[in-house]
Chains A and B, each alone.
Chain A
């Protein structure tokens, strides 16, 4: 009887832990996520500090997370709609220790810092106007 109660309690606790932890486990293995700052669990879980502090150059913005398997990488994105003004973003990146690179492997501006292997890209689109800041994190980055 005692054994039965112990087993039940242990199973119950595992069940409760799984029930509370499940959303986080699910977020942890997701291949991608699309969210705004109002989606608190996703915002806190996925968003790197650099993007949390990125100047909000438009009121209309949203975040994305992508997990690449194979040629392993994580890609963190903030997308601002209705603007193509990147001055504040440049200013912020400089203050965070990033500097513009002369070469970039995509058709965008690449920024790098000595403190991290991350590659930050700033993309400007016109018609319709939008600005995208993307952090590319990969164990293959030099």
Chain B
């Protein structure tokens, strides 16, 4: 759930790991979502699987939320089975497909009862596009902010104050939601933008009939109590 107090100056986007910046290309970016740590973990599971002797290996990906010093964690987890021998370009494509399908599931989970009592974050305008930016920061552009044109804190606050909190602008796609400068374009409304070319280079995997990637029959929801358990999804 993004708050007004989390807005930081755009020139800090490449250095900080938390905060909200407004960019002219992607709209609002939640830096916490855009770190790509989850993707790095997923790709390293694939590297390990490819280095093994097994014909198939499993990769696990989860998204979650935590409270009270991580004593309570809940979220969604899924495991895909992959036939060894996938080239790196295909590994990236599988990772993207996993992240995209999980992010949608998680945001819907977050927007449903009882999670919606504590957060208005479910499919908030900036979440999915920030997750996608996290993916590309790992696979192609570590510091993409020069291409995204982040604005100053004052400019970002101006948009927040004019359009209201972003949690109320829902976006269930991975496309940017842009908020035009209210001074230059009075009476305008947010509109869907186009992803920059560097964020369109990997196609999410969809060749599920090949037998190289096997989807689970069920996706699991997890709730964990106790900080001792930091394993993902368990």
Contacts and interface: CB of A to CB of B under 8 A. Distances in A.
A82 to B, nearest CB: 17
A115 interface: no
Contacts of B209: none
7 nearest CB pairs, A to B? A28-B68, A68-B32, A69-B65, A66-B18, A75-B18, A140-B41, A71-B38
B63 A70 contact: yes
Interface string B29-65: 0101101111011001000000000000000001111
Nearest to B41: A140
B197 interface: no
Contacts of B110: 69-70
B118 A32 contact: no
Contact of A105 (B18, B65, B70, B137): B137
B63 A71 contact: yes
Output the residue of A29, A68, A142 with the most chain B CB within 10 A: A68
Interface of B: 1-3, 5-6, 12, 14-19, 30, 32-33, 35-38, 40-41, 44, 62-73, 75, 103, 106-107, 110, 118-119, 121, 127, 131, 134, 137, 142-143, 230-232
Contact of B15 (A29, A108, A138): A108
Interface in A88-142: 105-108, 117, 121, 123, 125, 132, 134, 136, 138-142
Output the residue of B12, B32, B44, B71 with the most chain A CB within 10 A: B32
Contacts of B36: 71, 105
B95 to A, nearest CB: 13
